[in-house]
Chains A and B, each alone.
Chain A
Amino acid sequence: MNIDYIFYLLTALTIICATMVVVSKHPIRSVLFLVATFFCISAHYILLNAQFLALVNIVVYAGAIMVLFLFVIMFLNLNKEVERNKSILYWLGAIVSAGCIFLMLVSSVGKVALTNGNIEKENYTLGLVENIGMSLYTDYLFPMEICSVLFLVAMIGVVLLSRKENKFTTNTVSNV
């Protein structure tokens, strides 16, 4: 089986899954299709010889983020809520404008015209964990540290946001 067939198959699958995310009425289905899309994208990463990214994508996106989404949907019990669609005209406008964006991007892509790039200089081990790790902890050390600060901030933010509003906190504490 030739490798470009794999690519086309995978691409078709990705786009179908992505479309289903948008069109499916049920939120749970949307989430599941999104997970599928992420798996497809991970497969693309593997094709691109970016094994580390493929793994991280599955672990972070499909594993953590989407579970978070699912959790919120379950938590809010949204299965019952029936979403009323917007008007056809609005759909049409959205599709046309998104299509225009797509055409814009494609038309700018055409000018890049980079095919079968620097194969000779190709470093096949680029996407391996050790190489990514090396550049992360040497060249990109500072952004890496900033990332950890970002997570800390996000964590504090989330805790603050989801804290229970209790006006009598001090009273309760003293009673206890």
Chain B
Amino acid sequence: MYKPDIIQYISLNHYLILGAALFAIGLIGVMVRKNIIIVFMCIELMLNAVNLILAATSTFYSDSGGQVMVFFTMAVAAAEVSVGLAIIVMMYKNIHSLNIDLFNRLKG
């Protein structure tokens, strides 16, 4: 049987920091990109950072709950992406642009 040696060499902290880094990168993307599809992708990236941390914690604590949670996250992400992309397509039909700064009708 394959033995995951990883936990003997690498600490959980490494994974946590990696997750944090991915999360921060995704955050930068959400903030700076104008193309709404890329913003959406960056959100997926952030979700994956969290998934990674969940999976790592699950392994290090040897509790399957974390991995199940990742599975659910993926399920929700899939649903979210399908609906989100449908909305984006509809918005594009309306204003013929994907520039996030043009979606600024949401103000008093």
Contacts and interface: CB of A to CB of B under 8 A. Distances in A.
Note whether A and B contact each other (Cβ less than 8 A): yes
B5 to A, nearest CB: 5
Nearest to B66: A50
A9 interface: no
B45 A34 contact: yes
A18 B26 CA distance: 8
B72 interface: yes
A125 B58 CA distance: 12
Taking each of A53, A76, A136, which has the highest tally of chain B beta carbons within 10 Å of its own beta carbon? A53
Contact of B1 (A38, A44, A85, A124): A124
A158 B45 contact: no
Contact of B4 (A49, A69, A162): A49
Contacts, number: 257
A102 B24 contact: yes
B95 interface: no
B81 to A, nearest CB: 5
A127 B90 contact: no
Interface of A: 2-4, 7, 11, 14-15, 18-19, 21-22, 27, 30-31, 34, 37-38, 41, 44-45, 47-50, 52-53, 56-57, 60-61, 64-65, 68-69, 72-73, 75-76, 78, 81, 83-86, 90-91, 94-95, 97-99, 101-102, 105-106, 109-110, 112-119, 121-127, 131-132, 135-136, 139-140, 143, 147, 150-151, 153-155, 157-158, 161-162
Interface of B: 1-29, 31-35, 37-38, 40-42, 44-45, 48, 51-52, 55-56, 58-65, 67-68, 70-72, 74-83, 85-90, 92, 97-99
Given A68-B82, A81-B98, A102-B23, 20 more contacts: A2-B9, A3-B5, A4-B10, A7-B14, A11-B14, A14-B18, A47-B6, A50-B59, A56-B74, A65-B78, A69-B37, A72-B89, A86-B34, A94-B28, A95-B28, A101-B20, A115-B13, A117-B60, A118-B62, A127-B67
